Structures are given as structure tokens and as C-alpha cells.
Amino acid sequence: MIGKGKSISHTKASISYGWNQEKNAEIIHSQHLAGENPKEITEEFKIIQSQNQRTQRNTLSFVLSPSIEDGKELSKQELKELTKKFIKAMNLEERQSIAFVHRDKEHIHIHLYVNRIGFDGKAYNDSFIGKRSQQRAYEVAREMGLTNARDIQYQRLDRITQIRNEIKEIHGKVMEAERPKSVEAYIKLMKEKDITVIPSINKQQKLQGFRFGYKGHSLKGSEVHRSMSGEKLVLQISNNSNKAIDPQKILTIKLAGKAVELSANIVIALAKSAMKKAIKRAIDQGMGI
């Protein structure tokens, strides 16, 4: 579940939005209120708020969003319970409040409005209210056995890590066993392993790297592993060839049968590699190796 919170000054407009029948709004919580429409509720808020003229943003607005799956299963009573637990967790029990559930979208969510001014005329401390709302929503969701946005995020990160590792492992096997001598050959070999390698072309229409599509995910080479960035991958493939690279002629490679210019980073990486190889050959020959 995701929780959001902020202080607002437009009380009537917000409560009217919460009450909006076009969104299939339904009241699931009301405390210390007798009004039967947004205007009457706002007037009741104002009576208490008149005790504190210094506070401008005198209403608290919260949105509680269970996951889509949880939202489909939660009954009206459970949504009411969720709201009350959140109010208690935020220390807002003894204040005027009203909450609506909106079912106009697949993602069911709750709009909660609380009078920031208490019956004693004191304003509720709204420091870091956005972050506190997130944390309290997380705690309530855990208490009720609901799915948390934080848990979903961790699951996604675990899945991405697994996908990265699988792509890197397949890449390593292809490079070691097949030793492709061209980018086209590499792309074809990876395709046979169910990985789609997509060249990334920059605004200058030059090759700057590759994306890897695998099991519904698309990752940049550098996101998979630093050794799979554009320049390092092209360099690995070029090293598989026994041909000496001419630093003056490494401006393009073939992709889908067409010559594609290389980005400056890739050209520089290839040129440095070619120079190192040339120096090493010269040294080896000079020493008679």
C-alpha cells in the first residue's frame, strides 16, 4: 500500500472531490461530523479552524492506495478498518475527519481529510508529513497482511538482479565458446539464446551501445554489467578477430548489412586498444620474442 499526505487550504474543493459521485465515491469513515454534503462538512471544519487564524493550510489530505490485487479483495469494512488504523498511527484520532473510497478506476484508493486544527485550537505538526504518511501506511499494511509498495520494490529489484545475472552468464558463455568476430554474429548468437540485442543509436546517428531484451525486461549493457558497455563490448568482439586494427579505419561497423558509424567513446576505446597492441608487437619484435 502507498500512503501520501500533505496540508492544504482548499478544504471545500478537496472534500467535494472526495465526495464526487462520478467516481463512485462511498463514505467509509466519518468522525465528529454531522454534515451531509461537502459545504456542510467544510463549515464544520471552519468552526474549529476559526480558533487558529495563524494556520493557513488547516486541513490534512491523505491518499491511501492498496495494491490493485488487495483493492479487489478488501471489503468496505476492511477499508474502514484500514483507514482507522492509519488515523491512529498518525495520532489523529481526536479530530474531525472524513474518508471516501473511489472505485472509478481499477486501482481502488481512499481519500481521507482531517481537520489540522484540534478542538483545543492547536495545529497538528505537519513536518515531513509526506514521509510520515508513507511510513505509517507501510506499517498498517504490514499489520493487516497487505502488499506493500516497499515489498513490491524489493521484489522487482531481486528480479532485475536475477535477470542481469542471467544475461551476463549467457553473454560470457557466448563470448568464451563462440568467440564472435563481428557485432552481427554476436547479435545472432545471443538471439539463439533468447536474448535480443538492440543497438542504441544516439542523436548523431552513431552507435553508442546496446540494450538487452530478455524475459520482458530491457536493460542497457552497462546496467547488466560494466564490462558490457558499448565500447567494452565492441572491444571484446574486435579482440576475437586476428586482424590488426587500423586506428584510422575504425569509424564504422556493419549492422544488418549496413555500415553504422561508431560513437566517439567506442572509436577512442578501439584506437587505444590498437595502439597498445601495436606497441606490444614492436616491443616483442625488438626483443626477438
CA–CA distance, 24 with 102 (Å, rounded to integer): 6
Query: Which pLDDT tens digit goes with each residue over 76-132?
Result: 999 999 999 999 999 999 999 999 999 877 789 999 999 999 999 999 999 999 999
Answer yes or no: is pLDDT of 48 > 90.
yes
Residue 236: CA atoms inside 13 Å, Cβ hemisphere, count? 18
Confidence (pLDDT) at 202: 86
Report the pLDDT value the prediction gives residue 280, as an integer from 0 to 100: 63
pTM (2 d.p.): 0.59
206 touches 262 (CB < 8 A): yes
Query: Residue 65 and residue 48: Cα distance in Å, rounded?
Result: 29
Q: Answer whether residue 242 shows pLDDT above 90.
A: no
Please spell the DSSP secondary structure of 168-187, one letter per residue. Answer: HHHHHHIIIII--SSHHHHH
Written as nine digits, the cell of 95 is 479530530
> Who wins on pLDDT, 252 or 109?
109
Position 15 confidence tier, pLDDT thresholds 50, 70, 90: very high
Count of CB atoms situated within 10 Å of the CB of 220: 15
From the list 209, 208, 182, the residue with the least C-alpha distance to 197 is 209
| Percent composition of the chain: helix, strand, coil (DSSP 3-state, to 5) | 50, 20, 30
